[in-house]
């Protein structure tokens, strides 16, 4: 099978998807924004061809590159794994007659108001929401639903550009910072109380072939706003227990309603006083290295499993569920440049056998802002057979390991 993969070099883990396709038996041609000389020898060795474009989200450029590749031989699939690339790839895929995720499905998985409208029509529980193109639209929605509300980009990922508003003053501030002032639509949603997590899959012909569930501690909005918090993501090895059945059924139903065929998916959910509520979905893998956590927890090469789904339409191996695994983000005490750490050496001495990997930027490295995400500065990833023990370990890392900047 001949697969075109979009953007193999950035971010760095993109190369893993190429490797997974090759392991599954694909002949891979890549399209990227960098000169072929930028690619290292290992990555170039996996590729049967490479086309450079000025931007992989510039649809005419991507379309021209795909058609050049098609002129040389048959193409079976056109794939990508980055949220910002998915819609453009789907449009080009359809224009070139290549099977895979359709533009409609890509749109519904990216445009949050349209997504929730489609899911509510199918009786899937999710927050009340609307698309607002003016400040008055936002205020009308708040008047109807009440506080608190969430304002975010219609096609955003994670908590980027997201504001929670609990009163008129916070709403005024959020509107002043938002693109709606310039006539650009935003998504406005009822704020859902409860614990936040995510459910990830690899689907084959619309059926879940691999599935994983993660918990946030604390919820993303809180974790991405306060410097003193060392936020955590933990994947459970208890997914087959009764408590997760409702999440699994919800995920399969969302996949069916949105017309997802063979693809990775990433779904955010809330469990709270109003029950289980669906939040949003991406028709692509999760970010922040979550697949690496799944690999380490399950004795599984998930990138190759994704390759088997795309290339062979089947699953290769089953997850072992031997471990829970998790990551904790460690924030510098201030913005500036890293000057040192406290507790890092003791961490490796005490729990070295449980550490998957870690990242401690060298002294002198500029810090990244708190809202830049879980892997923006220092972080540690661990695994343990018992989920509750792992939670305790991650808490202790957050308490004992300090990152200093000046």
DSSP codes, 276-318: EEEEEEESS--STTHHHHHHHHHT--HHHHHHHHHHHSS----
Strand partners for 405: 338
Could you give the percent of the chain with pLDDT greater than 90? 85
Other CB atoms within a 10 A radius of the CB of residue 222 amount to: 15
pLDDT value of position 93:
98
**Interior angle at CA 179, CA 177 and CA 185, nearest 5:** 140
In terms of phi and psi (left: phi > 0; alpha: psi -120 to 50; beta: otherwise), the region of 100 is: left
Extract the tokens encoding 109: 């998985």
**What's the sign of the alpha-carbon dihedral 113, 116, 117, 118?**
positive
| Average pLDDT value for residue range 172-196 | 87
| Mean pLDDT over each residue of the chain, to the nearest integer | 94
**Measuring CA to CA, how many Å separate 378 from each of 221, 317, 357, 365?**
19, 32, 11, 11
The end-to-end CA distance of the chain, in Å, is 53
d(CA 369, CA 380): 18
Which residue in 181, 142, 187 sits closest to 163, CA to CA?
187
Q: Which fold has domain 128-190?
A: Dna Ligase; domain 1 (3.30.1490)
The structural domains of the chain, with segments of one domain joined by +, span: 2-100, 128-190, 195-405
Task: Please state at what angle helix 344-351 crosses helix 387-400, rounded to 10 degrees.
Answer: 160
What is the bridge-based pairing of β-strands 355-359 and 378-384?
antiparallel
Q: Is the pLDDT of residue 159 over 90?
A: no
| Average pLDDT value for residue range 122-147 | 92
Give the model confidence (pLDDT) of 334-351 as tens digits.
Answer: 999 999 999 999 998 989
CA 402 vs. chain centroid, Å, equals 27
d(CA 91, CA 382): 39
d(CA 335, CA 339): 11
**Counts for the chain of helices (H) and strands (E), in that order:** 14, 18
Q: Is the pLDDT of residue 158 over 60?
A: no
Q: Identify the CATH number of the domain defined by range 195-405.
A: 3.30.470.20
d(CA 49, CA 60): 20
Residues 6+ apart with CB under 8 A from 291: 16, 285, 302, 303
Total-model pTM: 0.92
Q: Identify the CATH number of the domain defined by range 2-100.
A: 3.40.50.20
Q: Which residue in the block uniquely carries the two structure tokens 């795309």?
A: 310
Task: Please state at what angle helix 135-145 crosses helix 168-177, rounded to 10 degrees.
Answer: 150
| Average pLDDT value for residue range 180-201 | 90
Extract the tokens encoding 240: 């087959």
* pLDDT-based confidence at residue 156 (cuts at 50, 70, 90): low
Extract the tokens encoding 188: 């406005």
What is the three-class DSSP state of 124? Answer: coil
d(CA 401, CA 395): 10
DSSP state of 365: P
pLDDT value of position 154:
81
d(CA 237, CA 321): 5
Give the model confidence (pLDDT) of 38-95 as tens digits.
Answer: 999 999 999 999 999 999 999 999 999 999 999 999 999 999 999 999 999 999 999 9
């Amino acid at each position: 099978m001949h697969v075109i993969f979009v953007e193999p070099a950035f971010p760095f883990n993109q190369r893993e998807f190429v490797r997974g396709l090759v392991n599954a038996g694909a002949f891979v041609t890549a399209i990227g924004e960098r000169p072929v000389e930028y690619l290292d020898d290992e990555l170039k060795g996996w590729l049967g061809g490479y086309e450079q474009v000025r931007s992989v989200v510039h649809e005419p450029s991507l379309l021209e590159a795909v058609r050049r590749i098609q002129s040389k031989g048959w193409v079976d699939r056109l794939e990508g794994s980055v949220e910002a690339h998915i819609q453009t790839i789907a449009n080009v895929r359809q224009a070139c007659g290549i099977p895979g995720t359709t533009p409609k499905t890509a749109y519904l998985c990216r445009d949050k108001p349209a997504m929730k409208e489609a899911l509510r029509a199918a009786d899937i529980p999710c927050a009340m929401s609307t698309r607002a193109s003016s400040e008055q639209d936002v205020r009308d929605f708040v008047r109807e639903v009440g506080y608190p509300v969430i304002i975010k980009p219609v096609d955003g990922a994670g908590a980027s550009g997201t504001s929670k508003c609990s009163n008129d003053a916070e709403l005024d501030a959020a509107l002043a910072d938002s693109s709606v002032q310039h006539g650009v639509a935003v998504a406005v949603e009822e704020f859902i109380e409860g614990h936040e997590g995510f459910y990830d899959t690899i689907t084959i012909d619309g059926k879940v072939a691999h599935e994983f569930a993660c918990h946030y501690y604390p919820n993303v909005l809180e974790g991405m706003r306060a410097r003193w918090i060392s936020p955590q993501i933990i994947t459970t090895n208890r997914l087959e227990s009764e408590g997760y059945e409702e999440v699994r059924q919800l995920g399969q139903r969302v996949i069916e309603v949105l017309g997802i065929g063979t693809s990775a998916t990433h779904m955010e959910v809330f469990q709270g006083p109003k029950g289980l509520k669906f939040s949003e979905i991406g028709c692509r893998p999760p970010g922040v290295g979550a697949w690496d956590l799944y690999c380490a927890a399950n004795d599984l090469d998930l990138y190759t499993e994704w390759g088997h789904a795309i290339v062979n339409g089947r699953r290769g191996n089953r997850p072992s569920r031997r471990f829970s695994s998790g990551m904790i983000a460690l924030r510098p005490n201030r913005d500036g440049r890293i000057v040192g750490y406290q507790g890092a050496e003791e961490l490796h001495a005490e729990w070295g056998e449980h550490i998957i990997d870690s990242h401690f930027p060298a002294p002198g490295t500029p810090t990244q802002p708190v809202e830049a995400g879980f892997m923006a500065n220092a972080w540690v990833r661990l695994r343990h057979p018992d989920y509750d023990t792992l939670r305790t370990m991650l808490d202790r890392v957050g308490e004992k390991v300090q990152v200093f900047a000046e």
